[in-house]
Amino acid sequence: MNAMMPLLFKAWRESRGRFLLSVTLLATICAAGVIFRGSLMKVFVPNASFVGAPYVGYIYRLVYGGAARGLFTILVMVLALGGLQRERLHRVVGFTLALPVSRARLAGAQALLGLGQVAALSALPLIVLGVGSRLAHVSYPLEQMWRFGLLWLAGGVVFFAVAFLAATLFRSEYAALAVSFVFMIFYPVTVMFPPLNRYPLNLHHIMSGLAMPYFDARRALLVGAPPWMLLVSMMAVAGALIVLAVQITSQRDYS
């Protein structure tokens, strides 16, 4: 672990600008949702479109099933960019490769830090909404925020892994990000058709609960037990993609 700490610090210095910007953007949309709820609720939950507390339906449509979730997906993919391909583009890769550590460790440290950042972003709405709602004297169930955070974490890890692999395969960060966006947009479309539509494969729906058996759309609440097997499977797929990216990094020529 001691040998890994300097590599994690190096990865942090490379990604901290993107991470702090991500925190700012996601926190802002959550905080603004609470502060300006009086006006926004008329837009997001018109004519009592949810059964139960209007504020619960409003937070779902704005955050967990709406704009904040889409922003989160984009941000975790941006966090996956960088690494040796970026250093190669900026002609500083020689310094990094001269360090007495393997390429696999370099890539592994970047992936490990990135996963930690994804976890932090997943939990951020819980903190901002929890504190903000209390200060504003409105209520959103804490248990719901934890469960949505878990869904965001699993989905975010998959999107991060896809972008991390793309950043390993392509020299240009723009190309890697473009491929990641294509995946984000068109993958959900492909799983709408038989035989894939028989299975819960739409990551956006898994994260938001939309059309999933563990989500009550009328009340905008997660119900029943979390889909543990589904979440574990998503983590396993993400882990396989990250391992593949690390293996490619260890064998690639960056000269």
What confidence tens digit (pLDDT) does each residue in 183-239 have? Answer: 999 988 898 888 888 888 999 999 999 989 999 999 999 998 999 999 999 999 999
What confidence tens digit (pLDDT) does each residue in 137-173 have? Answer: 999 999 999 999 999 999 999 999 999 999 998 888 8
Helix (H) or strand (E) holding 180: helix 173-190
Residue 30 burial (CB < 10 Å; 0-12/13-18/19+)?
buried
DSSP-assigned states of every residue in 40-104: HHHHHSTTS-SSS-HHHHHHIIIIITSHHHHHHHHHHHHHT--THHHHHHTT-HHHHHTSSS-HH
Flag whether pLDDT at 46 surpasses 90. Answer: no
Token pair for 142: 């804490």
Backbone angles phi, psi at 224, to 5 degrees: 70, -170
Amino acid at position 73, single letter: T
Given this model, what pLDDT does residue 181 score?
Answer: 93
Which region, left, alpha or beta, applies to residue 220 given φ > 0 means left and ψ of -120 to 50 means alpha? left
Distance CA 165, CA 237 (A): 12
What confidence tens digit (pLDDT) does each residue in 81-115 have? Answer: 877 666 666 565 666 666 678 888 888 999 999 99
Confidence of residue 251 (pLDDT cuts 50, 70, 90): confident
What confidence tens digit (pLDDT) does each residue in 31-45 have? Answer: 999 999 999 998 888
Distance CA 212, CA 95 (A): 49
